[in-house]
Amino acid sequence: MKVSLSNFDKAFENRIRLQIMSVLVANESYDFNSLKELLEVTDGNLASHLKALEKEEYITVNKSFIGRKPNTRYQASEKGVAAFKKHLEALEQLIKQQKG
Amino acid sequence: MESKDVYAELSSIKNIMERSTRFISLSGLAGVMAGIYALAGAGVAYQLLNNGPADVQLLVAVALGVLVISMGTAIWLSYRKASKKGQSIWTQSSKALLFAGMVPLVTGGCFTLMILSQGNYELIAPCCLIFYGLSVVSASKYTFGDVKWLGILEILLGLIATLLPGYGLLFWALGFGVLHIIYGTIMHFKYDRESIAQ
């Protein structure tokens, strides 16, 4: 059964982007390397998805250094959390529709 | 979008959220081993106490030895479990777990040493149990939720031991030995076996 995708957030169509957002909603903040390891993606791939989420203003970036190593941490913005919740509700709605 | 895709999407979200917040490479077997070391340690302590007035430093050394070997085994077994699944054990969630557990544990360690130096021997076992229990409850937020029940039982045992001075070693053996073996066995059959089967 096919249903309309109108309520879905375009930014979350990609599985990796949705997963990044899930991690950032569940945690106060997360760093680049931990995200990379958790999601099992390449540097370039992860960076491009993070950039896309940043452009939507769904996440905020905080760059700093630990010693000499750069440490980039990401946080979900209020707008991002709201969009994520809406997307989940749309998914839930979809399941309800199909059951009903 | 097909409904099975929606379920797959939701379960992938749930999975990633859990893996990002909780350290699930904790091994049940490590609990069983810790229990065995603790019982052996309690046996040694019992022998020492039976042969007249025991050397306090020796008893502390036995307790610390049990702690160090138990933690070493836990780290080694967790490392093995994680590397089988191609995961690392030094992650954001394991760091959070360590920090949450270490605050009550180190506080309790210092506190116990202080009351030891004041000669309050009867409170040693209850203090170990209570602070260890608090440490486990606090760390349980970052691993399997069931772990908090182990912590709550340790705290209860510690409180009962406070009411029954003179039975410290018995409660110590019950809390660190028997409870760990029971808990480790449950965790092993509940989580380790299914993850090996996958």
pLDDT tens sequence across A17-70:
999 999 999 999 999 998 998 899 999 999 999 999 999 999 999 998 888 888
pLDDT higher than 50, residue B165:
yes
What's the gap in Å between the CA of B100 and the closest CA on chain A? 15
Contact with chain A for residue B16, Cβ under 8 A:
yes
Q: How far apart are CA A87 and CA A93, in angstroms?
A: 10
**Residue among B107, B142, B132 nearest A28 (CA):** B142
| Other beta carbons within 10 Å of A32 | 18
**Residue among B120, B161, B2, A16 nearest B111 (CA):** B120
Amino acid symbol at B96: A
Provide φ and ψ at A39, rounded to 5°: -90, -5
pTM given for the model: 0.82
Q: Which of residues 85 through 144 in chain B touch A, CB cutoff 8 A?
A: 87-88, 91-92
Strands A59-66 and A30-31: unpaired
> From the list B3, B88, B92, which residue is nearest A30 (CB)?
B92
Least confident of B11-15, B62-66, B112-116: B11-15
B99-140: pLDDT as tens digits:
999 999 999 999 999 999 998 889 999 999 999 999 999 999
Query: Residue B18: pLDDT band by 50, 70, 90 thresholds?
Result: confident
Q: Which structural domain range is residue A38 located in? A: 11-99
Q: How far apart are CA B184 and CA B178, in angstroms?
A: 10
A4: in domain:
no
pLDDT higher than 50, residue B13:
yes
Provide φ and ψ at A62, rounded to 5°: -130, 105
> What residues contact residue A7 under an 8 Å CB cut-off, 6+ apart?
A86, A89, A90, A93
What is the structure's pLDDT at A81?
Answer: 95
A48: in domain:
yes
Mean pLDDT (whole number) for A73-89: 94
Percent of chain B whose predicted confidence (pLDDT) is above 70: 96
A75: in domain:
yes
Highest mean pLDDT among A10-24, B30-44, B73-87: B30-44
What is the structure's pLDDT at B2?
Answer: 67
Contact with chain B for residue A19, Cβ under 8 A:
yes
Q: What is the ipTM of this complex?
A: 0.81
pLDDT higher than 50, residue B54:
yes
> From the list A22, A25, A98, which residue is nearest B3 (CB)?
A98
- Sign of the torsion angle spanned by Cα atoms B167, B67, B26, A32: positive
Contact with chain A for residue B83, Cβ under 8 A:
no
What is the structure's pLDDT at B198?
Answer: 45
**Residue among B183, B112, B83, B102 nearest B142 (CA):** B102
What is the structure's pLDDT at B106?
Answer: 96
A2: in domain:
no
Higher pLDDT, A99 or B67: B67
What is the structure's pLDDT at B52?
Answer: 77
What is the structure's pLDDT at A5?
Answer: 56
Higher pLDDT, A27 or A3: A27
What's the gap in Å between the CA of B11 and the closest CA on chain A? 11
Q: What is the CATH number of the domain that holds A29?
A: 1.10.10.10
Residue of A21, A29, A37, A49 to mutate, testing the B interface (most B Cβ within 10 Å of its Cβ): A37
Number of domains comprising chain A: 1
- Sign of the torsion angle spanned by Cα atoms A9, A13, A15, A16: negative
Query: Residue B86: pLDDT band by 50, 70, 90 thresholds?
Result: confident
Higher pLDDT, A2 or A21: A21
A61: in domain:
yes
A3: in domain:
no
What is the structure's pLDDT at B5?
Answer: 79
> From the list A27, A30, A94, which residue is nearest B6 (CB)?
A94
What is the structure's pLDDT at B137?
Answer: 97
A6: in domain:
no
A83: in domain:
yes
- The residue of chain B nearest to residue A6, with distances taken between CA atoms, is B1
